[in-house]
Amino acid sequence: MSNIQSQRWLVSRRHLLRGAGACLALPLLETMGLGAEGGSQVKRFVCVANPFGMIHDAFFPTEAGKTAALPENLRAFEPLRGKFTVFSNLDHGINGGHSGTHAFLSGVRSNEAAGMPNGNISLDQFCGESVAGETRFPVLNTSAGSNDGGAVELSWTRSGVMVPSIQKVSRVFQMLFVDDPADMAARRTTRYERQGSILDAVQEQAKIMNKRLSRPDQQKMDQYFTSIREVEKTLQQEKAWVSRPRPKVDMKEPKNGTVSQQLPILYDLITLALQTDSTRVATIEVPGAFDTAAVGIEAKGYHAYSHHGKDPTLMAGMRKVERYQMEQMAKFITKLADLDLLDSTQVLFGSGMSDGSAHTNRNLPILLAGGGYKHQTHAKMPEEQGKKVPLSNLYLTMAQRFGIQTDAFAYSKGTLTEII
């Protein structure tokens, strides 16, 4: 057998079948994403987050290790043993209650971003940058409803801009699976070309001005040029997908509804988005507008229940809200496993708030599933000052597992060898 015949067939998503004057984009095949350096498959990342944290005794197992008994709100994960890990004592070392929750997925508060090499970029955007152009949506940021009653503020670009989430499932469906009318696609292409021309003109003027500036101002202009290049790259990537047809799926356009109605639909849509390789990075926010009556408790509002102050009735209601969230996530993880997508998909659940009643940002509720890790059920990290492990260590581990060659993320000090 020749060397060519004995080599494994490698193919990327960018390959096209050409013939008879036509081009046809390849579907997502099993061999796609396999590289010559070790054949790792396509990597995916999904983050799910809420704004108010979790009641600790209902989320954290009391014992450590693979055989740890699961608390009440994680019992839906019992069939998933070996596929997930709950981490205790991980956080970003932040105080401030609600004012610190926006750093959950970035590890960096907004007012500290200027002093960081990558600003306060969140993990989803960091991963999305590395695969930009390979899918229609580098990152798909969604929410199960409006931010009334408590915003998650999950996703941030490296320039410090919060990325808004799509709050209606009908819109998510349309973006993923409904082609734009021809006239709309043509207008969008024209708009991209016009925006590109404007950026070219602005950049040329800026270069002329740069020669007359002081060194500090030149540094500011360099940052400005970097921002322009990021916008140009984004425009080029978006333009390339305008004329490509969207995949067809056996799902009708869903109706919008309450948070509890939209959340399971969002999980289905994200599953389809991963299956069709429409995106490899997605986020789902469970906002403060959660309709508490849907889980059989008085309609006081999710935020009100989070301020339970250890009142038994309010705590019982909060447990039901949290149990619903974890049950829906367990169904999602099970579906990914059934579709053979879980080992290639890192699924993170968490919050920038540890306990909504105590308003603390320490010991955040963190669960990681899938991704091909050596999962432990419960990994109890050191809690003593001086020995604490930053949550950013987990994010660095996840970024590297996603395929990014980096030795740092936010304030990380290394990777989590416990699950590698």
Q: What type of residue sits at position 279?
A: T
Contacts of 134 (CB under 8 A, 6+ apart): 13, 14, 280
Claim to verify: residue 17 and residue 56 sit in the same structural domain: no
Q: Which pLDDT belongs to residue 21?
A: 38
- Tell whether 416 is covered by a domain: no
- Tell whether 319 is covered by a domain: yes
**Distance, CA of 189 to chain centre:** 28
Angle, helices 259-275/169-177, rounded to nearest 10 degrees: 10
- Tell whether 21 is covered by a domain: yes
- Tell whether 418 is covered by a domain: no
Q: Which pLDDT belongs to residue 27?
A: 45
11: containing domain: 1-40
Q: Which of 31, 37, 11, 26 minimizes the C-alpha distance to 403?
A: 37
Claim to verify: residue 117 and residue 28 sit in the same structural domain: no
Q: Identify the residue whose tokens are 């940021």.
A: 141
- Residue-level pLDDT, tens digit, the chain, 420 residues: 333 333 333 444 444 444 433 344 444 454 444 433 333 489 999 999 999 999 999 999 999 999 999 999 999 999 999 999 999 999 999 999 999 999 999 999 999 999 999 999 999 999 999 999 899 999 999 999 998 888 999 999 998 999 999 999 999 999 999 998 767 656 665 665 565 555 566 667 777 777 777 877 877 777 666 666 666 666 667 667 887 899 999 999 999 999 999 999 999 999 999 999 999 999 999 999 999 999 999 999 999 999 999 999 999 999 999 999 999 999 999 999 999 999 999 999 999 999 999 999 999 999 999 999 999 999 999 999 899 999 999 999 999 999 999 999 999 999 999 999
Cβ–Cβ < 8 Å for 142, 152 = no
Q: Which pLDDT belongs to residue 233?
A: 67
- Tell whether 99 is covered by a domain: yes
CATH number of the CATH domain containing 145: 3.40.720.10
End-to-end Cα, the chain, rounded Å: 37
Claim to verify: residue 284 and residue 158 sit in the same structural domain: yes
pLDDT, one tens digit per residue, over 255-290 is 999 999 999 999 999 999 999 999 999 999 999 999
- Tell whether 326 is covered by a domain: yes
HEC secondary structure over 340-409: CCCCCEEEEEECCCCECCCCECCCCCEEEEECCCCCCEEEECCCCCCCCCEHHHHHHHHHHHHCCCCCCC
Q: Which pLDDT belongs to residue 210?
A: 73
Q: Which pLDDT belongs to residue 199?
A: 58
Claim to verify: residue 300 and residue 223 sit in the same structural domain: no
Tell me whether strands 84-88 and 16-19 are parallel, antiparallel or unpaired. Answer: unpaired
Q: Which pLDDT belongs to residue 218?
A: 73
Of 227, 244, 261, the residue at which a domain comes to its end is: 244
Of 197, 212, 244, the residue at which a domain comes to its end is: 244
Name beta bridge partners: 389. none
Cβ–Cβ < 8 Å for 269, 173 = yes
Q: Which of 116, 137, 107 minimizes the C-alpha distance to 46?
A: 137
Tokens found for residue 343: 């080992």
Of 203, 227, 244, the residue at which a domain comes to its end is: 244
Claim to verify: residue 156 and residue 221 sit in the same structural domain: no
Claim to verify: residue 72 and residue 207 sit in the same structural domain: no
Claim to verify: residue 209 and residue 198 sit in the same structural domain: yes
Please count the structural domains in the chain: 3
Taking the model in full, what pTM does it have? 0.84
Q: Which pLDDT belongs to residue 197?
A: 59
Q: Which pLDDT belongs to residue 215?
A: 77
Q: Which pLDDT belongs to residue 24?
A: 42
- Tell whether 387 is covered by a domain: yes
Claim to verify: residue 374 and residue 269 sit in the same structural domain: yes
Claim to verify: residue 82 and residue 105 sit in the same structural domain: yes
Claim to verify: residue 254 and residue 340 sit in the same structural domain: yes
Claim to verify: residue 138 and residue 282 sit in the same structural domain: yes
- Tell whether 409 is covered by a domain: no
Claim to verify: residue 111 and residue 257 sit in the same structural domain: yes
